[in-house]
Amino acid sequence: MSFSFFKPSRPKTPPEVAKAIKDSLNALDTKTVAEVKALEKAMEEVEKNFTAMRCMLSGDGEVEPNVEQVSQLAFEISKEDVISLVIHKLPTLGWEARKDLVHCWSILLKQQVDSTHCCVEYIEKNLELLDFLVVCYDNKEIALNCGNMLRECIKFPTLAQ
């Protein structure tokens, strides 16, 4: 008999973290309001994956982040369209998940992969995402999060135009 809760969980790779975030955010769509327990479980999974992303991007207090993994995660997140998904799901996320997302947002935007800011380039190609953040700013529950994310975006001249 295997007791998986006794084994320490192995660290996930950047592609695994990006895929887990994408899958958990997509799972929110399949849950209806009637399935309260399933929706709560899906939200817990999103928060767990955002926490994993935050640890990978900024370390956990004891271990510094691996620069190569941070670059790879930024690349995977832009490649897998996770940026678009995260922005569109922002109104449905819980407080803790939004807090982790805003923290990760600034790190992801600043991250260079092969001398380019891949996440900034993704947003440049999908400017409607900035429009969505501006519209979401009217929602007082997420206004602070949207404002912080927009503030990080305008630090890049191509996004500020």
Longest alpha-carbon distance in the chain: 60
82-96 CB burial, b ≥16 within 10 A, e <16: bbbbbbebbebbeee
Half-sphere exposure of residue 2, counting CA atoms within 13 Å on the CB side? 2
Q: Is 2 among the domain residues?
A: no
Q: Is 5 among the domain residues?
A: no
The pLDDT, as a whole number, for residue 139 is 95
Q: Measured between alpha carbons, how far is 13 from 34 in angstroms, rounded to an integer?
A: 35
The pLDDT, as a whole number, for residue 34 is 61
Q: Is 1 among the domain residues?
A: no
Helix (H, G, I), strand (E, B) or coil at 87: helix
Q: What is the CATH number of the domain that holds 115?
A: 1.25.10.10
The pLDDT, as a whole number, for residue 2 is 47
The pLDDT, as a whole number, for residue 39 is 82
Q: Is 143 among the domain residues?
A: yes
CB count within 10 Å of CB 97 equals 24
Q: Is 3 among the domain residues?
A: no
The pLDDT, as a whole number, for residue 7 is 45
Q: Is 48 among the domain residues?
A: yes
Helix (H, G, I), strand (E, B) or coil at 13: coil
| DSSP letter, residue 60 | -
Which pTM was predicted?
0.86
Give the domain extent around 143: 11-160
Domain total of the chain: 1
pLDDT values of the chain reduced to their tens digit, one per residue, 161 residues? 444 454 445 558 999 999 999 999 998 886 665 677 888 888 999 999 999 999 999 988 888 999 999 999 999 999 999 999 999 999 999 999 999 999 999 999 999 998 899 999 999 999 999 999 999 999 999 999 999 999 999 999 999 98
CB count within 10 Å of CB 12 equals 18
